[in-house]
Amino acid sequence: MSLLAAASATTTFDVPANVVFAVLAVGMVTAAIRVVTTKNIVHAALWLVVVLGGNGIVYLLLQAEFVAMTQFLVYLGAIIVLFLFGIMLTRAPLGRSDDLDNNQRPLGVLVGVVLLAVVGFSLARQWGRDTLSFAAYQGGGAAGGNGRTQALANSIFGEYLIPFEVVSVLLLAALIGAIVLARRD
């Protein structure tokens, strides 16, 4: 088998990719539970970093590098910083806060379990025993990719450029509003 034929052959990494995904999923679910159960708001934001970082790694598993880097840059680099600025500027208590617990926890657990069952059933019914399969680089398209990245970038910065910019201005306005509210004495 020639080197060119070996490079263009389909390579599957079904079992390791599924194992990595399962470990990531368990870690992300655990961190998501910690986001809503911790009594320290800064720790909740840091647990959210774990969830969003795991989401970016899942995108890397799916070979969507552009989306993964966007996830890391936008959510971990901007949104979490915005959350932490909001926490600091509103002078929220940084330690444990006992008044964050409420009496609706059983209802929240019930809704969460029902939602997990519905989503799990829907996913299992739709995809059943499918596994992740990755094809080797076939050439064509953008450098280092197969053209999907360029199509996604054209979609975000072409058709959805105005909504993208509106959201960025909205986030800037929210940050300025948090500063104004926090500095009002």
pLDDT, average across residues 12-27: 79
Percent of the chain predicted with pLDDT > 70: 74
pLDDT band at 24 (very low <50, low <70, confident <90, very high): very high
Contact 66, 152 (CB under 8 A): yes
Average pLDDT value over all residues in the chain: 76
- Burial of 172 from C-beta contacts in 10 A (0-12 / 13-18 / 19+): exposed
Mean pLDDT along residues 93-118: 77
Q: Single out the residue of 66, 74, 72 nearest to residue 50, CA to CA.
A: 72
Tell me the percentage of the chain whose pLDDT exceeds 90.
Answer: 17
What six digits make up the tokens of 2?
């020639």
Tens digits of per-residue pLDDT, 130-164? 776 665 544 444 445 556 777 777 777 787 888 87
The residue behind tokens 């509210």 is 181
